[in-house]
Every structure is written in structure tokens, then in C-alpha cells.
Amino acid sequence: MSRERIVSANHQPEDTAGEPTGPTIRPKTLDDYIGQSQLQTRLRIAMTAAKSRQEPTEHLLLHGPPGLGKTTIAHIVAEEMGTKAYVTSGPALTKGADLVGTLTRMQPGDILFIDEIHRLPAAVEEYVYPAMEDFKIDFTLDAGMHARVVTYRLQPFTLIGATTRAGLLTAALRSRFGIAHRLDFYEPSELEQILARASEVLNLNPPDPAALTLIASRSRGTPRVALRLLRRVRDFAQVHQAQCITTELADEALRLEGVDEQGLDDLDRAYLKVIRDVYDGGPAGLEAIAATLGEDSGTLEDVVEPYLLQIGLLARTRQGRQLTSGGQTSLPLLDA
């Protein structure tokens, strides 16, 4: 069973829909980018040094949970360096020719952004190594005793890889990145700034600051979720002909969407209730919980559990999943 989750950090079509001809919410420069201060500092130093040497920026690996701005960073680097960004993903590169076609048309200093780089096929990854190190690719023509290797020189470029599963990267690929950085979840104050900027870009009447605080507190530390919630609240305000977004209106809109004070949605609450009511607080096996909910165990492990673990409501033990003391304290909220 598949459910659309407004609080999912994974990309959804609605995240790029809405204002196709209007201004984009995505920041274009580091000055507009909010949060990830350590990464910003490292990038400023790397880009300034690269510009002074008239070289492309070092290859960059970004890893961390989805929705934190890895794609945005790639576009910002391209903008700051005055070059073009080519965007693709690991699953889309099924054979070497797919990658070679992009590399051969890139100009000096251009950015190649590969999302979900941990899912690159091994055959494609073999082309990536010489391209990253020596800016060249080798073609094998013919076969058998007539086989010969032709080397094609590439323009110097920057590869930016993004992954939510850094542990699945091969050591050979990981070692070829000059800069590797993990993106952290955002603080509520940073999300408030992002929401305030987005409100201006979307031409909304200035919302009540307390309303932005409320939305930020339910956004699970993720800008993508915060912007999605803002769009839902905007639609609710428009239908109810409200002049601006107030705290009461934002709370009513998010409750209608099933998002509570902790940022939990219906699936999160159903998961916790199963452990509480069916398995007496745990421990319980993941497969048993999934069967009770009628959900896929992989969905629960990759989509539901990370946030519950992050906020301390759930614990993974050798015996299975169980509610923490914080989860036990939050039980009355599940029935609200």
C-alpha cells in the first residue's frame, strides 16, 4: 500500500510545481542560502581559491538525509563559478555511453551533479575514475585481437555527488572526492528564515512570525518539508479568503493535513500506536509491525523510523523496535 506523505523528505512532483513561470524559491547564491554554515565556509574558501588559480572547484561529495539542499548546493556552485550545471542521477546512468555523452559536451569548469550516486552501476563507475582524476575517458573499440583503446580528453570539470547512503559508496569512488560533507538537519530558527524568504518570493502578505515558527516546528528539520507545508497553508488561507497567514489558520491547516505538534503524520502515529497497543510498547520485530500495519517493511525502515529515532520516540534493539521513555510520555498526544 502506498501513501502520499506531506512530511516525507523525498522529492515529489509538487515540490517543483506551482509557479513554473514565476520566481523560483531555490536560492541561487551563497548569500541567499540559509543554514549549513560550516559547508558554506568550506565552499567559499574552495571556490575563491579555484577562481584565483583559474581551475574548476574540487570534486564535492554531499551526503545526508533527503530534502536538505544537496541539489541546491550544486546549482549554487555553478552560479558562483559562472558555469553550467548538468543534472542527472545514478539510476539514470545505466551504461557508460550515458555518462560519456554528458561529459563530452561539457565546457571548462562546468558542474556534473549526480544524485543518488551510490546507485551508479559498476560499469559506469569505471568511466568515472579517470574522468575525475585525469579528465579523460578511454573507449575500447572492436573486440578480441583487434581491440584497441582510444583516449578522449575532457575539459576540466567538477563532479558533485549526492547520496543519502554514503556507506554504500565504494571506497575507490569516495576517495576521489576532494571535499566530503554531511548535511545536518536545520534548526527551527533557520527554517523560519527560509519560510520568510519563500513567503516574499511567493508574493504572500507578510505572515504572522508566530505562524512561521509553528510551521518550522512541524517541518522535521527539513527545508523541503517546510516549503511543502507553507504551500498547503497558503492554499488553505486562499480558500478561506484570509488576508494573511495567522497562527490559528496555520494550525488548522496543518491539522487538516494530519500533521501534529511534533511533525508526525498519520502513518507515524499509526506505527507508534501499533507498538503501544498491539505489542505493549515493544520490543517487536519490524516484519511483525509491517504486517500489522499492512505496510512494506522497507518503507517503515527508510521513511518512517528515521525521524522517530531522531526525536527520541523509538529505539532499535536486538530484540526489535520499542518505545523509549520519551515515546511513552508522548502517548497521550497520539490519541488527541
User: Using CA atoms in the order 128, 134, 136, 140, what is the torsion angle rounded to 10 degrees?
Assistant: -70
- Catalytic entry in 110, 115, 265, 268: 115
Give 318's contacts (C-beta < 8 A, 6+ positions apart).
none
- Catalytic entry in 163, 164, 265, 321: 164
> Using omega within 30 degrees of 0 as the cis cutoff, is the peptide bond preceding 13 cis?
no
Q: Most distant CA pair in the chain: distance in Å?
A: 77
Cell numbers given for 176: 576521489
Instruction: Indicate if 276 belongs to the active site.
Output: no
- Catalytic entry in 70, 218, 234, 321: 70
**Rounded CA separation 252/249 (Å):** 5
Task: Give the residue from 60, 39, 268 showing the smallest Cα distance to 157.
Answer: 60
Task: Give the residue from 300, 323, 298, 296 showing the smallest Cα distance to 312.
Answer: 323
Instruction: Indicate if 71 belongs to the active site.
Output: yes
- Catalytic entry in 57, 71, 72, 163: 71
Instruction: Indicate if 224 belongs to the active site.
Output: yes
Number of residues assigned to the chain: 336
Burial of residue 36, with CB atoms counted within 10 A of its CB: 0-12 exposed, 13-18 middle, 19 or more buried: buried
- Catalytic entry in 5, 218, 220, 224: 224
Known catalytic residues?
70-71, 115, 164, 224
